[in-house]
Amino acid sequence: MLMACKKNNVSFTYAPTDPRAGAAVRFTNQSSSGEEWEWTFGDGATSTLKSPSHIYRNPGTYIVSLKVDNKKAWMASKQITVYDTVPTFVASDSVYAIYKDYTFTANLYNPYNYEVKYDWIFPLNTQYVAPSDASATMDGSSITIYFTQALDSAPIWLNLIWNGDTVCIKKMFHVSDRATNSLLLRTSDAAYRQRIFGSRAEQYQPTTDTGLLDAEQDTTQTYNGHVFTLAEVASVFPEVEGFKMANRKIYFRAKGLWVANIDGAYPVQIDTVACDAMTIDTHDNRIYWANKNGVWYMPFVGSDNNKFVTVPALLNNLTNVSKLAPDYEEK
């Protein structure tokens, strides 16, 4: 009886088919049998795994060989071309809207640790972007910015300079608008609307929508079914000029801005500068007030004794503001 010769078809594939230096190449063993494998990758590296991965440090052409069960007859080889890495930059998100933080990071294969210069460029004199941190530099390998305008095609460029080479990477990003609440402001000669985006705000613009402002007053308010008047509040706080109530607190103007419990206990001064107008925003739980330096805001005070740690922030430097009103219509 004749024994059939044992035959092993040795073969393998790799992916991606156009590999680049610094990226993993996956080798898939497609041999019909075998228990031991010996790979050589052409750059001095080897592996005994059945289907290994390998990273080439440099571009070039390499001969990859697979030997099965340590038998020279059971061996297959292929030529693989590894291409140079294309520098690029990647973003932390895929959808973009105004006044949200986004991080952009350079992706550069630099095996010899050459000194690299990163030059981020925003055409149009950077009118549509701003750094999320005012102290941040724009020359690092990673930057965090926010868009200040909605644009169909917002360009961001990155110049990478290393080892005598310069590569310019250009990408375009669609930036959409965002629905948000607004603050209406009245001065002696105009009315303004300023949209609020978390800790940031859009540049204020004149508005003809003055209905809310005309109706807004801080000398009377209905709270828990009772109509409070300025005279009633003045019986507790004699120097009061205006007030607003929310979350069992009363915020009032009296040669500055104050907060107290709804029963008048624990009055604490928030701002020592004379307050010309104030309002509260129960949607975002904020208090807004105007003084000679501009319009300020801070979160509602939550402690029973009205101690607060949040520092008031300047919303804008619009002066002579006599009325403020939140607009809950998302515009």
Note the pLDDT of residue 318.
94
Instruction: List the structure tokens of 251.
Output: 């915020």
CA distance 176 to 152: 8
Q: Which residues contact 212 (CB under 8 A, 6 or more apart)?
A: 184, 325, 327
Q: Which helix (H) or strand (E) holds 107?
A: strand 102-107
The whole-model pTM stands at 0.69
Note the pLDDT of residue 2.
42
Note the pLDDT of residue 194.
93
Note the pLDDT of residue 3.
44
Domains and CATH numbers, the chain: 12-82 (2.60.40.10), 88-176 (2.60.40.10), 182-327 (no CATH)
CA distance 303 to 99: 30
Please, are residues 175 and 146 in contact by the beta-carbon 8 Å criterion? Answer: no
Note the pLDDT of residue 6.
55
- Quickly tell me which residue has 């904020």 as its tokens: 286
DSSP type of residue 216: -
Please, are residues 216 and 325 in contact by the beta-carbon 8 Å criterion? Answer: yes
**Angle subtended at Cα 142 by Cα 138 and Cα 145, rounded to the nearest 5 degrees:** 60
Regions in the chain scoring below 70 on pLDDT = 1-7, 124-126, 329-331
